Structure 1
Amino acid sequence: MTPPNPAVLVVTGPGLVADLRLLTEVADREFAALGVTGTVTPAPDLAAFRAALVLPGAVVALPGPDPGARSLAAEHPGVVWLDLTRSDAPLPAPADGTAGTHLHGRGVWGLTWAIRHAVHRLRRPARRVAYGEHPDQWAETRPPGESAGRVPAVVLLHGGYWRSVWGADLMDALCVDLAERGFAAWNLEYRRPDLHGWAATTRDVADGVALVAEESGGPVIVIGHSAGGQLALRAAADDPRVCLAVSLAGVLDLVEGDLRHLSSGAVAAALGGSAAGTPEVYRRSGPLERLPLGVPQLIVQGGGDDLDLVDFGRRYARAARTAGDEVTYLEMSGDHFDVIDPASPIWRATAGVIADRFLP
């Protein structure tokens, strides 16, 4: 069955600080890329903003600073809420206990991700499963369209340099693509270390992978993007039920990443200290330090990415083979986000390698 192409409404609340023309340009590009129709509409007052939230289709709401507009999140769980600025205080939770979506802190670029999330969740809805009590301890699963018996399960771990402004919505498109290919796709959210500490992050990933392994009963594949690549390979080293670990533009050398001050010091900020100051944390967490992992690995890297990540990927693949692991290294044209774009050649090649291994 052909998935629906919902109409998308982007509505901005009163008092939002942003150039409407720029928001419209960003939105129009995304509408075209997704093959949907859409509009961007400013709400002059609270009444108009409230009325727009109940329109059919996919709605992305930028409430701005108005307290009344922000309070409406509790009444509209189907809306994707977007703050251009960072917001450590979550919007009000829906009163019926359903899970809302609040993206924040990504600037104007965040609008592209909000539109994508709104479209993907309507085109192929996901079922959310909690693996803990914290609001960030959940996984969203999309089963394959047609399946008989047990099918391979794929756990997807998002990146974002372990910072809380980035979330599982980054992996929506790959989840949909993998489900359409015949996999059971699980998009895993976890507590990020900037708010909860490194131990909470690693524990959540382990618990989430365990949940999928227990529920699926079949082969488990773990795929991580960027910082999620590090988390995926560590999870594979810790859990023998993982039968393939895939890194998409992963941060695979934490020590060197710290020394090179990657992404303005993201490694030390996430792990709670420098490699020199907390060496044991790096030894437990670094894919390079954990070799051999004892599990087959697929290391994918876009040649147009950050050159440090290209360096990490190439050196890691060589070191893993030397250590005795089964490793496939795939480098093609593409940037940091092409590896999670279902339309890109590098992702199609990646998915082909995985499918050839696990699907009939």
Structure 2
Amino acid sequence: MMFALARQDGRRSLSRRARRLSALALAVALTAAGCTAPASPDPEVLSAATDAPSRPAQPDDAALTTYSYGPRPAQTADLILPASLTERTEELRTPSGSEAPAPQVVDVVVLVHGGGWDAAYDRSSETEVARDLTDDGIVVWNLDYRGVGAADPLDEGGWPGTFEDVAAGLDLLPHALGEAGLAPGRVAVVGHSAGGTMALWLAARHTLPDGAPGAAPLVRPDLVVTQAGVNDLKTAGAEGPVEGAVQALMGGSTSGVRDDRYDLASPTALLPLGVPTLVTTGDLDAVVVPSVATDYAEAAQAAGDDVTLAVIPGEDHLSPQNPRSDAWAAVRDWMAERGISSA
């Protein structure tokens, strides 16, 4: 389809979001026609295009707990529970009777940040959209991972470490929910830019051969969203504005590496995913140009996947980080139509 458009507990100041833009109206079947990219200005550097839009914070009662899935600082994820759940989870943690109550089943949105897989960037770029979700009563798992170019070699990501990190981080979700007396219902993974690549890869893990990094997942996403994602690592690693970022992630070019890492990492190479997929792009995106989204949507549909393509007029590469944008409204609408609901 195509739209025109060690663990630490804490409380964080999360604001009530402004009423989001009205639902995007037009939804039609995806066809090859209409999937070409418009002309775009000179591309920017991928890793320099991820500063989150600012917005004044208003305090509320959302609860944030940070979990570690490994020993390094970036090997963490935040479980953010909306205010509507905080009292209920306290009851579930401390049952008064001899029998513990059954865990409450909740839908979860997993956020995977972008930044060109560069170690300088982290999950804080997803703060605003995380707030938007929790303000509407939706549980969030904001996932971090090791990137490339870290000062300490132990913090260095790349292949396969970055992929193993996001896999381990997603698989920790049921444990984190269980500590709050909750259990996962529908799980939607939403990634922006470099995180869009990782989101699709997380949805494809069940297709990986035994022994491959990330194989045998404990958590299989029910929905996946790639927002301005680098959806085909093989093509992007061979030419184009993000070639350097991809090669840094993968440890070389497609012709320079001698193993099958690109086949095990690139979402396009792993099609079909077998997971309903939303592919978004802004028609003004000069970092990951719109043709990357349209090409992936066509390939995924041809492979048999349930795919929705959203090309958002007037939006750029950073728009998905802004909860007031049409780009984010498209994601919220698509997930709501597919059953992601408030706790």
Are positions 1:258 and 2:227 aligned together? Answer: no
Alignment-derived partner of residue 246 in structure 1 = 225
Amino acid at match of 2:300: A
Instruction: List per-residue Cα deviations over 1:148-171 (Å, max 9, x = no partner).
Output: 732211111100110011111100
Structure 1 residues 342-353: aligned runs within 5 Å: 342-353=323-334
Structure 1 residues 257-336: aligned runs within 5 Å: 257-263=236-242, 265-278=244-257, 280-306=260-286, 308-333=288-313, 334-336=315-317
Alignment-derived partner of residue 338 in structure 2 = 357
Corresponding residue pairs, total: 257
Structure 2 CA distance, aligned partners of 1:257 and 1:349? 25
Amino acid at match of 2:191: G
Q: Deviation at 1:357?
A: 1.3
TM-score by length of 1: 0.65
Structure 1 residues 131-280: aligned runs within 5 Å: 131-147=69-85, 149-195=104-150, 196=156, 197-214=158-175, 215=177, 216-238=183-205, 239=217, 241-263=220-242, 265-278=244-257, 280=260
Structure 1 CA distance, aligned partners of 2:141 and 2:254? 32
CA contact (8 A) 1:155 1:212 kept: no
Instruction: List per-residue Cα deviations over 1:179-210 (Å, max 9, x = no partner).
Output: 12232101111111333232111111000111
CA RMSD of aligned residues (A): 2.8
CA contact (8 A) 2:63 2:82 kept: no
Structure 1 CA distance, aligned partners of 2:169 and 2:110? 8
* Change beyond 3 A, Cα 1:274–1:356: same
Structure 2 CA distance, aligned partners of 1:283 and 1:300? 23
Identity %: 34
CA contact (8 A) 1:120 1:172 kept: no
Structure 2 CA distance, aligned partners of 1:315 and 1:113? 27
Alignment-derived partner of residue 25 in structure 2 = none
Q: Deviation at 1:119?
A: 4.1
Q: Which has the larger share of helix?
A: 1
Amino acid at match of 1:219: R
Provide structure 2 residue ranges, at least 5 long, that are not aligned to the other structure.
Answer: 1-12, 19-46, 89-103, 151-155, 178-182, 206-216
Q: Deviation at 1:220?
A: 1.4
Return the index of the structure with the highest Cα Rg: 1
Q: Deviation at 1:124?
A: 4.8
Q: Deviation at 1:359?
A: 3.9
Q: Deviation at 1:307?
A: 6.8
Amino acid at match of 1:163: D
Asked which structure has the greater RCO (Cα within 8 Å, sep 6+), the reply is 2
Amino acid at match of 2:143: L
The secondary structure found in structure 2 opposite 1:262 is coil
* Change beyond 3 A, Cα 1:134–1:308: closer
TM-score by length of 2: 0.68
Q: Deviation at 1:175?
A: 0.8
Deviates more, 1:226-235 or 1:238-247: 238-247
CA contact (8 A) 2:52 2:322 kept: no
Instruction: List per-residue Cα deviations over 1:99-120 (Å, max 9, x = no partner).
Output: xxxxxxx99x99x75966x948
